Amino acid sequence: MSHVLVTGCSSGFGLETAVELAQRDWHVFATMRNLDKRGRLDSFLTRSDKVDVLQLDVTDAASIEHAVKELLAITGGRLEAVVHNAGVSHGAAFEDVPDDEARRVFETNFFGVLALTRAVLPVMREQRSGRIVLISSDSAFYGAPGLSIYTASKWALEGWAESIAYEVEPFGIQVVCVEPGSYRTDIWDSSPRIIPPDSAYRELAEIEEKAVQEQLVARARDPKEVAKVVARALEARQPRFRYPVGPDAKTMATARGIVPRRAQAAVVRRILGIHRWKP
């Protein structure tokens, strides 16, 4: 049986990925920062004997060390794959983002991935095999107002992944980026909106929030689609490095390198309804 560690399994992509992989006979180590939030995962599982739920906070070195040790004790020292899914965001114009909030996003979305990868790489190198799957975002490749820090964290993740892929490939370890577009996950509701009373960007934020609800959230797709792509990436004999998921992500992937940045920006402005904003 193959063993996989999945982060951020209390909801969204992580929850769906844990369920999908368990149904495909993977032994899943579904992790989450707060085990009090495991109820949704437990209610979805029909084969719980294939899932171990562990506490893991990717921003806490002691938590990472403890979870990896517990996992390896159960598997006899093996780990075939890790799916880095835990992520956070916020909605705010860059000028309004406090430094500690920007660091919070990077600690989870970027540095947490690095820390957990460091913890599992020795095992994968020793067994001369492994697969590292990153739940990135199509946002990594084009900016959007109010998402500068989130976009930067995903862009950093993609650049890091491209680089370490060269380093680990000789050890039989493959790196994969799964890049979803708009999907129904809790990140929409859990992300704080930061709009100071005197913000010069208040009107922009209000326009954007309305557009996000009407254009993106309303059309967001079932996260099960992403879970199935993760499973395919894990089980493929020769996985691709990038998997854009969803019509919007695939369209943007096709446009990269073909459509000029100015044209892409014009489309984003119209979709979000901010082309008429005149501060």
Give the integer Cα–Cα distance in Å for 18 and 22. 6
With 70 as the cut, is the pLDDT of residue 46 above it?
no
Across the chain, what does the average pLDDT equal? 91
What Rg, from alpha-carbon coordinates, does the chain have?
Answer: 19
**0.95 exceeded by the pTM?**
no
On the question of pLDDT at 188 being above 90, the answer is: no
Between 197 and 259, name the one with better pLDDT: 197
CB atoms within 10 A of CB 218: 9
- pLDDT tens-digit readout, 79-105: 999 999 999 999 899 999 999 999 999
Question: Which CATH superfamily is 3-200+222-248 part of?
Answer: NAD(P)-binding Rossmann-like Domain (3.40.50.720)
Task: Please compute the mean of the pLDDT values over residues 127-150 and round it to a whole number.
Answer: 93
- Residue 218, pLDDT score: 66
Between 266 and 217, the more confident residue is: 266
Catalytic, out of 150, 183, 201, 243: 150
Which 3 state secondary structure label does DSSP give 201? Answer: coil
Q: Write the DSSP symbol of residue 62.
A: H
Q: Under a CB-based contact definition with an 8 Å cutoff, are residues 121 and 224 in contact?
A: no
What pLDDT does 106 receive?
Answer: 98
Active-site residue 150, yes or no? yes
Mean pLDDT of 114-131: 98
Three-state DSSP state, 132: strand
| Confidence category of residue 187, pLDDT binned at 50, 70, 90 | confident
**Cα(120)–Cα(82) distance, integer angstroms:** 8
CA–CA gap between residue 224 and residue 275 (Å, rounded): 34
